[in-house]
Amino acid sequence: MKADKTKVTRLLKTARGQIDGLLKMVEEDRYCIDISNQLMATQAILRKVNNEIIHAHLGACVKEGFKQGNEDEKIEEIIKLLDKLSK
């Protein structure tokens, strides 16, 4: 992985803490909108982590793949990723 591991780890630990908080909120039968807001905050962090990893992948792995003549493979990989992201 070429992404900033410290940043990615920090964000994932934050998301894990939020998920633990969500579980507690559900167990305590908290207000639905409060739970939903917390869910959206957690999803935003996970999107941020994914963006960090994708950017690093494009800037390092894909770039290296092009230098080595693996353009078609890397383009197909990105197309599949974009398909998943658009669902």
Model confidence pLDDT, tens digit, residues 25-57: 999 999 999 999 999 999 999 999 999 999 999
Grade residue 1 by pLDDT with cuts at 50, 70 and 90.
Answer: confident
87: confidence class by pLDDT, cuts 50, 70, 90: confident
In this structure, what CATH number is given to the domain that contains residue 69? 1.20.58.1000
CA angle in degrees (0–180, nearest 5) for 80-84-87:
140
Q: CA–CA separation, 6 vs 73, rounded Å?
A: 29
The token pair at 23 is: 């579980």
In the numeric block, the tokens 């792995």 are attached to 61
At residue 76, does pLDDT exceed 90?
yes
Domain containing 25: what range? 5-85
Question: Residue 2 pLDDT > 90, yes or no?
Answer: no
- Give the residue among 61, 48, 60 at the shortest CA–CA distance from 10: 48
Q: According to the model, what pLDDT value does residue 82 have?
A: 93
User: Domain count of the chain?
Assistant: 1
What is the helix, strand, coil percentage profile of the chain, to 5?
85, 0, 15
Which amino acid, residue 79? I
